A and B are shown apart, each in its own frame.
Chain A
Amino acid sequence: MTRKKKRILAVASGGGHFIELLRLSPAWSSCETHYLTSLPGHADSIASEARLHIVRDASRWNKAGVILMAIRIFWLLLRLHPRVIISTGAAPGYFALRFGKLFGGKTIWVDSMAAEDSFSLAGSLAKRYADLHLTPWPDLAVAGSRRYEGSVLG
């Protein structure tokens, strides 16, 4: 009997956050994998059986862009209904966790290696919606809320 694969949505804006996300990808090798990013060129760096969805990234200063991005991500989550949503940042990840949780998904937020507390708006918003919150730096672990389980560097 074949068991249906679990569906996961892995989210990161294009560039560094996506490179960090891919370093975690063995964790969901047995899942039906969907990626969401802002840079179409990342299509070449993901596993061939994974799907890539694109959303236009918007800075927090561009309100219309942020709202449009949120709507697009809302529809994607409604359509895909992933069991698990994971993100390394930034704004697209926050919306994906928030809406994913709304539709009953389990959520994981992994802080970027570049995200010190005071700097990451998306991170500080997203952690409220994260069932699992991990940090890549041991000294940033917080008992009971943010765990350090190992390095992104390997």
Chain B
Amino acid sequence: MIFVTVGTQLAFDRMLRVIDEWAGSTTPTPEVFAQIGPSEFVPKHIEHKAFIEPTEFAERARAADAIVAHAGMGSILTALTYGKPIVIMPRRADLGEQRNDHQLSTAERFKGRPGVFVAQDETELPAILDSLKDLQAAEPIPPFASPGLIKAIRDFIDEA
């Protein structure tokens, strides 16, 4: 199962259309579930829902073979925590997909990290989807931040 997610706020049809088309033209038809946000585009070839609760989000990510998502930190952290390969495609402000281009810089930050695969735009996505089965996940990251960061915060709280 491939888990597609566009996050809690906005639609991301530029990514969804490509995934839907890809699913429709691939044999055997891949099993895909997509959380599509407040989208006007209705996918024809994949199971979809506008929103899911955080618990279902975590469960679907855990059960997935691979995750395809906007370049949001919630999606990336969840994939890394469960040790799933994730394909991220950044939203763009000039296309009205987000207020700013922070996802472009997030994609840049995570590019080349084991288990994270960047599709810079919709033209790069189909080839990555074709190779989805071969994408290697990284070892799961720990469930919490680094001990150094935790300690810095705890020390500050103790002093407060």
Interface residues of A (CB under 8 A from B): 6, 8, 14-20, 23-28, 31, 39, 41-42, 44-45, 59-60, 83-84, 86, 105-106, 108, 110, 112-116, 118-120, 131-132, 134, 136-137, 147, 149-154
Given A28-B153, A154-B142, check contact A41 B53 (CB 8 Å).
yes
Q: Which residues of A contact B142 (CB under 8 A)?
A: 154
Name the residue among A27, A44, A147, A151 with the largest chain B CB count within 10 angstroms: A27
Q: Which residues of B contact A149 (CB under 8 A)?
A: 148-149, 151-153
Compute the total of residue contacts between A and B using a CB distance below 8 Å: 137
**CB proximity to A under 8 Å, residues B91-142:** 99-103, 105-106, 109, 141-142
Q: Which 4 A-B pairs have the closest CB atoms?
A: A16-B74, A150-B148, A150-B149, A150-B146
Partner of A108, one of B7, B8, B78, B156: B156
Please tell me if the beta carbons of A150 and B72 are within 8 angstroms of each other in the complex. no
Q: Which residues of B contact A27 (CB under 8 A)?
A: 150-151, 153-154, 157
Q: How far is the CA of A42 from the CA of B53 in the complex (A)?
A: 8
Please tell me if the beta carbons of B74 and A15 are within 8 angstroms of each other in the complex. yes
Name the residue among A18, A25, A119 with the largest chain B CB count within 10 angstroms: A119
Please tell me if the beta carbons of B9 and A26 are within 8 angstroms of each other in the complex. no
